[in-house]
Structure 1
Amino acid sequence: MLGVWMLYLQLFYSSYRHQIRPKILITRGGGDTIAARCIITNMSPEIIFVQAVFLRLSFADREQLYSLSEADRAGFSPPDRRSELVQGPLRSGDFLELGSFEELLTTVLGKENALHQLAEAHTLTVVTVGSYTWHDRLAAAERSFRLRRNEVQQTILIPTRMTSRQIRSKTEKRAVARMVEKHAGMG
C-alpha cells in the first residue's frame, strides 16, 4: 500500500513540476524565407518578463552574437511597444512580433553587411532570455534555423528542430546569464 502511495505522490509531483516550468516558443510566421516574421510566445502558465533577445550567426570558422535588445530599431514601429523594445512582460499566451528576420539582421548588421554575412552563414539561432516571475528565475529558449538559398537566390530558414529548445540546465543558464551581463555592460 505504501508503494502505491509513493508512486501516486511521485506522479503528482512530476505533473506539478511540469505545469510550473517556463516555456518560450520561438517561431517564424508568414513564410519560410528571411522575410518571415519572428514571433516569441509565452507558453508558460505565468508571466515571463522578456529581458533580451539575441541573434547568433554561425559560420564555418566562427560564431557572431548580436543583441537585439541593445540595437537601435529606428524605423520599426509596431503597434505594441514591447515588440519595438524587444523587452517587456508577456502573460500566458501573449506574443511579441519582432519584425521579419531580414529586418532583425539588417538592424544588427547594417544593410550592406547583412547580405554578405547571410551568404557566408550556415545557421541563424534566436535566443530569448527572460525572468520567470513564479520563482524569479531565469527562463531561456533558443531556436536554430539552417540558412539555404533557393533557385531565385532567396535565403530560406529551415528549422533544425520541431520546436524551441528550452534552456534548463544550471550550466547553460549560467552561460546565458553571463551572455546577458556581457551585452548589458554589467560584466
Structure 2
Amino acid sequence: MEWLSEHSKAITAITSILTLFVWFFYAQILYRNFARTRRPRIIINRGHGNDLTSLCLISNMSSEPIFLEHIIVTLHTSKGSLTNDMIDFEADHRQDRSDSEDSSSEHGKDQGGNCRHEQDREGMRSSQGPMLPGSFSHVGSFEAILRRLCNVHEVALEHDRPKDDTVFQFLDIRVVAIYGSEDHPIGAERRFRLHMNDDEACTLVPVSLDTKRYANRLQRWRVRQWIRHLDG
C-alpha cells in the first residue's frame, strides 16, 4: 500500500496514457468502418458465359447511387490500340429492301421518274443514367461492343476477327461515374484477355481477379485524364 501511495501519480499517468491509446484504437476502427461504407465500389464482370456472346455487366456495390457518365472501351491489338466511348451509340432501323420496293410501288413515282424510298430512321441508345445501390446493368454483349468499336475505327471483321493479320490481345472496360453528391468523377477498370481459338471462337479471360477502383485523389486525376483524352 505504501508503494502504491508513493507512486500514485506515476500510476495515474500511465493509466491515462493507456486509456488514451485504447480510445485511439477504437476511434480508428470506427473511422475505418465509416470510410469503408462511404467508399465507392463498381464491379465490371462478364455474365452468361465466357466468350464474346457473354454480357458486359456493371454493378454498383456502393452505399449510395452512382451516375454513369462514360463507358470507355479500348481494344489492344498487335498494331496499336482502338478507343471509343460506348455510353451512347447509334442504332440504325433500316427497313428491308423488299419492303421499301413494295412501298415505292404503292406510292408510284415522282416527277423525275425516280422511285420514292422512305428515309432510314436513326435512333440512339444510351447506358447513361443513375444506378441505385446494389443494382446492375449490362451494356450489351462483348461481341456487340467489339463490333461497334471496330465499326467506328473502320476495321473489317470476319467471324469477329480482323480480315488482315491483326491480332486482338486485350479489351479494357473503363467506367466513369459520379458517386452520390460528390463533384469529382470516380472510375473503375477491368482488362480481359482475348484468346482466339482455332474453331473461330474467342474466350474472354479477366486478367485480374477484381475490378480496379479509382477513388482517391490521384486516381481521380487519372479518371479526368480519360475524359480529356475522349474530348481531345
The answer on 1:39 being equivalent to 2:57 is: yes
2:179 paired residue among 118, 132, 136: 132
Distance 1:105 1:125, change over 3 A: same
2:161 paired residue among 104, 108, 115: 115
Show the counterpart of 1:145: 192
The answer on 1:156 being equivalent to 2:203 is: yes
Are the equivalent residues in 1 in contact too, given 2:57–2:139 (CA < 8 A)? yes
Are the equivalent residues in 1 in contact too, given 2:78–2:168 (CA < 8 A)? yes
Q: Indicate the SS of the match to 1:46.
A: coil
Give the CA deviation at 1:178. Answer: 2.5
Give the CA deviation at 1:170. Answer: 2.9
Identity percentage over the alignment? 27
* Residues 8-157 of structure 1 aligned to structure 2 (within 5 Å): 8-60=26-78, 62-74=80-92, 84-110=125-151, 112-113=156-157, 115-116=161-162, 120-157=167-204
Distance 1:63 1:112, change over 3 A: closer
Give the CA deviation at 1:157. Answer: 0.4
Question: Is there any run of 5+ residues in structure 1 with no aligned partner, and where?
Answer: 76-83
- The AA in structure 2 aligned to 1:92 is P
Are the equivalent residues in 2 in contact too, given 1:22–1:132 (CA < 8 A)? yes
- The AA in structure 1 aligned to 2:195 is R
Distance 1:42 1:112, change over 3 A: same
Show the counterpart of 2:23: 5
- TM normalised by structure 1 equals 0.85
Per-residue CA distance 1:28-52 (angstroms, 9 max, x = gap) = 1111111111111100010000000
Give the CA deviation at 1:61. Answer: 5.5
Structure 2 Cα separation of the partners of residues 22 and 119 of structure 1:
38
Give the CA deviation at 1:104. Answer: 1.0
Matched pairs, number: 177
Are the equivalent residues in 2 in contact too, given 1:71–1:108 (CA < 8 A)? no
CA RMSD of aligned residues (A): 2.2
- TM normalised by structure 2 equals 0.69
Larger radius of gyration: 2
- The AA in structure 1 aligned to 2:219 is E
Structure 1 Cα separation of the partners of residues 196 and 150 of structure 2:
19
Are the equivalent residues in 2 in contact too, given 1:41–1:94 (CA < 8 A)? yes
- The AA in structure 2 aligned to 1:112 is A
Give the CA deviation at 1:176. Answer: 1.8
Give the CA deviation at 1:10. Answer: 0.7
- The AA in structure 2 aligned to 1:150 is N
